[in-house]
Chain A
Amino acid sequence: MYGPLWRLLPGPWPVKALLSLVLVAGVVAVCFLWLFPAIAPLMPFNDNSIRTGP
Protein backbone atom coordinates (compact mmCIF):
# COMPACT_ATOMS: atom_id res chain seq x y z
CA MET A 1 0.00 0.00 0.00
CA TYR A 2 2.67 2.52 0.96
CA GLY A 3 5.33 0.95 -1.30
CA PRO A 4 3.46 1.59 -4.56
CA LEU A 5 2.48 5.06 -3.31
CA TRP A 6 6.15 5.92 -2.72
CA ARG A 7 7.02 4.69 -6.23
CA LEU A 8 4.16 6.73 -7.67
CA LEU A 9 5.52 9.99 -6.24
CA PRO A 10 7.73 11.82 -8.75
CA GLY A 11 11.27 13.14 -8.32
CA PRO A 12 14.27 12.17 -6.18
CA TRP A 13 13.76 11.02 -2.58
CA PRO A 14 13.78 14.48 -0.88
CA VAL A 15 10.95 15.54 -3.18
CA LYS A 16 9.10 12.31 -2.47
CA ALA A 17 9.52 12.87 1.29
CA LEU A 18 8.19 16.41 1.02
CA LEU A 19 5.21 15.27 -1.05
CA SER A 20 4.49 12.54 1.51
CA LEU A 21 4.44 15.13 4.29
CA VAL A 22 2.00 17.24 2.29
CA LEU A 23 -0.22 14.19 1.77
CA VAL A 24 -0.14 13.36 5.50
CA ALA A 25 -1.03 16.97 6.36
CA GLY A 26 -3.92 16.78 3.91
CA VAL A 27 -5.25 13.60 5.49
CA VAL A 28 -4.99 15.10 8.99
CA ALA A 29 -6.80 18.25 7.81
CA VAL A 30 -9.63 16.24 6.24
CA CYS A 31 -9.98 14.21 9.46
CA PHE A 32 -9.95 17.26 11.79
CA LEU A 33 -12.27 19.41 9.71
CA TRP A 34 -14.82 16.95 8.34
CA LEU A 35 -14.44 13.30 9.29
CA PHE A 36 -14.04 13.61 13.09
CA PRO A 37 -16.75 16.26 13.62
CA ALA A 38 -19.09 14.02 11.61
CA ILE A 39 -18.49 10.87 13.65
CA ALA A 40 -18.12 12.51 17.10
CA PRO A 41 -21.90 12.60 17.80
CA LEU A 42 -21.97 8.81 17.37
CA MET A 43 -19.45 8.29 20.18
CA PRO A 44 -21.01 7.06 23.41
CA PHE A 45 -18.81 9.24 25.64
CA ASN A 46 -20.01 12.54 24.16
CA ASP A 47 -23.32 12.79 25.96
CA ASN A 48 -23.82 15.17 28.91
CA SER A 49 -27.54 15.49 29.01
CA ILE A 50 -30.28 13.91 31.02
CA ARG A 51 -32.59 12.08 28.66
CA THR A 52 -35.57 9.81 28.73
CA GLY A 53 -35.62 6.11 27.94
CA PRO A 54 -32.90 3.57 28.61
Chain B
Amino acid sequence: MKALRWVFGTLGEVLITFGLLVLLFVSWQLWWTDVTANREQAVTILDLERDFGHSDRPKAADPLATLSKVPFGQAFAIVRIPRLGAEYARPVLEGSDHDTLTKGIGHYPGTAMPAQVGNFAVSGHRTTYGRPLHNIDKLKKGDIIVVETKASYIVYAVDRDLIVDPYRVEVIAPVPEKPGATATQAWMTLTSCHPKFSARERYVVFAKLVRSIPRANGLPASFMAVPARAA
Protein backbone atom coordinates (compact mmCIF):
# COMPACT_ATOMS: atom_id res chain seq x y z
CA MET B 1 0.00 0.00 0.00
CA LYS B 2 2.79 2.35 0.92
CA ALA B 3 4.70 1.43 -2.23
CA LEU B 4 1.61 2.12 -4.32
CA ARG B 5 1.19 5.54 -2.73
CA TRP B 6 4.81 6.31 -3.47
CA VAL B 7 4.44 5.26 -7.11
CA PHE B 8 1.34 7.37 -7.69
CA GLY B 9 2.74 10.30 -5.75
CA THR B 10 5.89 10.35 -7.86
CA LEU B 11 3.92 9.85 -11.07
CA GLY B 12 1.76 12.86 -10.15
CA GLU B 13 4.80 14.99 -9.50
CA VAL B 14 6.35 13.98 -12.82
CA LEU B 15 3.14 14.83 -14.69
CA ILE B 16 2.82 18.21 -12.96
CA THR B 17 6.46 18.94 -13.80
CA PHE B 18 5.89 18.03 -17.44
CA GLY B 19 2.83 20.30 -17.56
CA LEU B 20 4.84 23.19 -16.15
CA LEU B 21 7.58 22.56 -18.71
CA VAL B 22 5.03 22.71 -21.53
CA LEU B 23 3.73 26.03 -20.19
CA LEU B 24 7.31 27.24 -19.96
CA PHE B 25 7.87 26.24 -23.60
CA VAL B 26 4.78 28.17 -24.69
CA SER B 27 5.97 31.31 -22.90
CA TRP B 28 9.42 30.89 -24.42
CA GLN B 29 7.98 30.48 -27.92
CA LEU B 30 5.44 33.29 -27.74
CA TRP B 31 7.42 35.83 -25.76
CA TRP B 32 11.10 35.14 -25.36
CA THR B 33 11.79 34.38 -29.07
CA ASP B 34 10.35 37.83 -29.90
CA VAL B 35 12.61 39.49 -27.33
CA THR B 36 15.82 37.87 -28.56
CA ALA B 37 14.98 37.92 -32.29
CA ASN B 38 13.96 41.60 -32.28
CA ARG B 39 17.23 42.49 -30.57
CA GLU B 40 19.28 40.37 -32.99
CA GLN B 41 17.48 41.67 -36.09
CA ALA B 42 17.91 45.29 -34.98
CA VAL B 43 21.67 44.66 -34.69
CA THR B 44 21.68 43.11 -38.19
CA ILE B 45 19.92 46.21 -39.56
CA LEU B 46 22.53 48.48 -37.97
CA ASP B 47 25.35 46.36 -39.42
CA LEU B 48 23.76 46.44 -42.89
CA GLU B 49 23.19 50.20 -42.74
CA ARG B 50 26.82 50.73 -41.73
CA ASP B 51 27.96 48.43 -44.53
CA PHE B 52 25.68 50.05 -47.14
CA GLY B 53 26.76 53.52 -46.04
CA HIS B 54 30.33 52.80 -47.09
CA SER B 55 29.38 52.06 -50.68
CA ASP B 56 28.48 55.51 -52.01
CA ARG B 57 31.10 55.18 -54.73
CA PRO B 58 29.63 53.38 -57.74
CA LYS B 59 30.92 49.85 -58.21
CA ALA B 60 32.61 48.80 -61.42
CA ALA B 61 30.92 45.41 -61.44
CA ASP B 62 27.19 44.98 -61.90
CA PRO B 63 25.85 45.02 -58.34
CA LEU B 64 23.04 42.62 -59.17
CA ALA B 65 25.47 40.07 -60.55
CA THR B 66 27.36 40.02 -57.26
CA LEU B 67 24.07 39.84 -55.36
CA SER B 68 23.16 36.54 -56.97
CA LYS B 69 25.96 34.81 -55.07
CA VAL B 70 25.06 35.63 -51.49
CA PRO B 71 26.31 32.87 -49.17
CA PHE B 72 23.62 30.92 -47.36
CA GLY B 73 22.58 32.57 -44.10
CA GLN B 74 24.08 35.98 -44.89
CA ALA B 75 22.06 39.19 -44.58
CA PHE B 76 22.15 41.22 -47.79
CA ALA B 77 19.18 43.60 -47.84
CA ILE B 78 16.82 45.64 -45.69
CA VAL B 79 13.08 45.56 -46.28
CA ARG B 80 11.15 48.72 -45.39
CA ILE B 81 7.35 48.84 -45.58
CA PRO B 82 5.85 52.25 -44.72
CA ARG B 83 2.38 50.69 -44.26
CA LEU B 84 3.79 48.70 -41.33
CA GLY B 85 5.26 51.83 -39.75
CA ALA B 86 7.85 54.50 -40.57
CA GLU B 87 10.37 52.62 -38.43
CA TYR B 88 9.68 49.23 -39.97
CA ALA B 89 12.96 47.68 -41.15
CA ARG B 90 13.82 43.99 -41.33
CA PRO B 91 16.91 42.23 -42.63
CA VAL B 92 16.71 39.81 -45.56
CA LEU B 93 18.97 36.77 -45.37
CA GLU B 94 19.77 34.10 -47.94
CA GLY B 95 17.86 30.91 -47.14
CA SER B 96 14.38 30.01 -45.90
CA ASP B 97 15.05 27.27 -43.33
CA HIS B 98 14.02 27.46 -39.69
CA ASP B 99 17.34 28.82 -38.47
CA THR B 100 17.51 31.61 -41.07
CA LEU B 101 13.92 32.69 -40.44
CA THR B 102 14.68 33.28 -36.75
CA LYS B 103 17.17 35.94 -37.89
CA GLY B 104 14.92 37.91 -40.23
CA ILE B 105 13.13 37.57 -43.54
CA GLY B 106 14.50 34.67 -45.62
CA HIS B 107 15.07 34.66 -49.37
CA TYR B 108 14.05 31.44 -51.10
CA PRO B 109 17.32 30.19 -52.64
CA GLY B 110 17.14 29.94 -56.41
CA THR B 111 14.50 32.62 -56.84
CA ALA B 112 15.43 35.98 -58.38
CA MET B 113 17.35 38.63 -56.48
CA PRO B 114 15.88 42.12 -55.86
CA ALA B 115 15.04 44.01 -59.07
CA GLN B 116 15.91 41.04 -61.28
CA VAL B 117 13.39 39.81 -63.81
CA GLY B 118 11.63 36.87 -62.19
CA ASN B 119 10.36 36.50 -58.65
CA PHE B 120 12.25 37.78 -55.60
CA ALA B 121 10.52 35.45 -53.13
CA VAL B 122 10.90 35.80 -49.36
CA SER B 123 9.40 34.22 -46.28
CA GLY B 124 8.99 35.57 -42.75
CA HIS B 125 7.45 34.68 -39.42
CA ARG B 126 3.89 35.87 -38.75
CA THR B 127 4.25 35.22 -35.02
CA THR B 128 7.25 34.50 -32.78
CA TYR B 129 10.96 35.12 -33.57
CA GLY B 130 10.41 38.87 -33.91
CA ARG B 131 7.39 38.28 -36.20
CA PRO B 132 8.64 40.39 -39.14
CA LEU B 133 5.48 39.74 -41.18
CA HIS B 134 2.96 39.87 -38.33
CA ASN B 135 0.87 42.48 -40.17
CA ILE B 136 1.25 41.12 -43.70
CA ASP B 137 -2.57 41.11 -43.94
CA LYS B 138 -2.58 44.94 -43.55
CA LEU B 139 -0.85 45.37 -46.93
CA LYS B 140 -3.11 46.77 -49.63
CA LYS B 141 -2.82 47.19 -53.36
CA GLY B 142 -0.38 49.99 -54.17
CA ASP B 143 1.50 49.86 -50.85
CA ILE B 144 5.21 50.46 -51.27
CA ILE B 145 7.84 47.89 -50.30
CA VAL B 146 11.40 49.20 -50.42
CA VAL B 147 14.22 46.66 -50.64
CA GLU B 148 17.48 48.39 -49.83
CA THR B 149 20.68 46.73 -51.03
CA LYS B 150 24.27 47.85 -51.05
CA ALA B 151 23.87 49.22 -54.57
CA SER B 152 20.31 50.49 -54.77
CA TYR B 153 16.84 51.12 -53.44
CA ILE B 154 14.44 48.76 -55.15
CA VAL B 155 10.83 49.86 -54.96
CA TYR B 156 7.96 47.40 -55.32
CA ALA B 157 4.23 48.11 -55.11
CA VAL B 158 1.78 45.54 -53.72
CA ASP B 159 -0.41 44.07 -56.44
CA ARG B 160 -2.54 41.42 -54.75
CA ASP B 161 -2.70 38.91 -51.92
CA LEU B 162 -3.69 35.28 -51.64
CA ILE B 163 -4.20 32.59 -49.01
CA VAL B 164 -3.00 29.16 -50.10
CA ASP B 165 -2.04 25.81 -48.63
CA PRO B 166 1.67 25.35 -47.83
CA TYR B 167 2.48 23.27 -50.90
CA ARG B 168 1.52 25.77 -53.60
CA VAL B 169 5.05 26.30 -54.90
CA GLU B 170 3.73 28.14 -57.94
CA VAL B 171 3.39 31.31 -55.85
CA ILE B 172 7.19 31.60 -55.87
CA ALA B 173 7.53 30.68 -59.57
CA PRO B 174 9.37 33.24 -61.78
CA VAL B 175 5.94 34.36 -62.96
CA PRO B 176 3.85 34.07 -59.77
CA GLU B 177 1.09 31.44 -60.05
CA LYS B 178 2.18 30.52 -63.60
CA PRO B 179 4.81 27.79 -63.25
CA GLY B 180 6.77 27.19 -66.43
CA ALA B 181 6.00 30.61 -67.90
CA THR B 182 8.94 32.75 -68.98
CA ALA B 183 9.41 35.79 -66.78
CA THR B 184 9.42 39.21 -68.41
CA GLN B 185 8.74 41.31 -65.29
CA ALA B 186 10.30 41.66 -61.86
CA TRP B 187 8.04 40.48 -59.04
CA MET B 188 8.43 40.16 -55.31
CA THR B 189 6.53 37.55 -53.30
CA LEU B 190 6.19 37.56 -49.52
CA THR B 191 4.93 34.45 -47.75
CA SER B 192 4.02 33.98 -44.09
CA CYS B 193 1.89 31.81 -41.84
CA HIS B 194 -1.86 32.01 -41.88
CA PRO B 195 -3.84 32.19 -39.68
CA LYS B 196 -1.71 33.73 -36.95
CA PHE B 197 -0.24 31.15 -34.55
CA SER B 198 -0.88 28.39 -37.08
CA ALA B 199 0.97 26.88 -40.02
CA ARG B 200 -2.12 25.51 -41.75
CA GLU B 201 -2.03 27.95 -44.65
CA ARG B 202 0.20 30.63 -46.13
CA TYR B 203 -0.59 34.32 -46.53
CA VAL B 204 0.99 35.43 -49.80
CA VAL B 205 1.50 38.98 -51.10
CA PHE B 206 2.62 39.72 -54.64
CA ALA B 207 4.32 43.03 -55.44
CA LYS B 208 5.53 44.38 -58.74
CA LEU B 209 8.71 46.34 -59.41
CA VAL B 210 8.12 50.08 -59.66
CA ARG B 211 11.71 51.11 -60.16
CA SER B 212 15.24 50.60 -59.02
CA ILE B 213 17.12 53.68 -57.83
CA PRO B 214 20.93 53.73 -57.47
CA ARG B 215 21.91 54.39 -53.85
CA ALA B 216 23.86 57.50 -54.87
CA ASN B 217 20.65 59.14 -56.13
CA GLY B 218 18.88 58.64 -52.78
CA LEU B 219 15.40 57.36 -52.10
CA PRO B 220 12.63 59.91 -52.85
CA ALA B 221 10.85 60.70 -49.58
CA SER B 222 7.48 60.10 -51.22
CA PHE B 223 8.14 56.35 -51.27
CA MET B 224 8.61 56.27 -47.51
CA ALA B 225 5.44 58.25 -46.72
CA VAL B 226 3.29 56.29 -44.30
CA PRO B 227 -0.09 55.75 -45.96
CA ALA B 228 -3.14 57.02 -44.15
CA ARG B 229 -5.04 54.34 -42.28
CA ALA B 230 -7.79 53.21 -44.58
CA ALA B 231 -11.25 52.93 -43.12
Binding site for B on A (CB under 8 A): 1-2, 28, 31-32, 36, 39-41, 43-54
Contacts and interface: CB of A to CB of B under 8 A. Distances in A.
10 A-B pairs closest in CB distance: A41-B98, A1-B13, A49-B123, A47-B199, A36-B28, A49-B96, A45-B199, A48-B123, A48-B193, A1-B10
A43 B128 CA distance: 13
Contacts of A52: 167, 169
A48 B133 CA distance: 10
A21 to B, nearest CB: 15
A31 B14 contact: no
Interface of B: 10, 13-14, 17, 21, 24-25, 28-29, 32-33, 96, 98-99, 101, 106, 108, 121, 123-126, 128, 133, 164, 166-169, 171-172, 191-193, 197-199, 202, 204
Given A40-B33, A49-B166, A54-B167, 16 more contacts: A1-B17, A31-B21, A36-B29, A39-B25, A41-B99, A43-B29, A45-B193, A45-B197, A48-B123, A48-B125, A48-B202, A49-B106, A49-B108, A50-B164, A50-B191, A51-B167
B197 A31 contact: no
A48 B126 CA distance: 8
Contact of B24 (A2, A31, A40, A48): A31
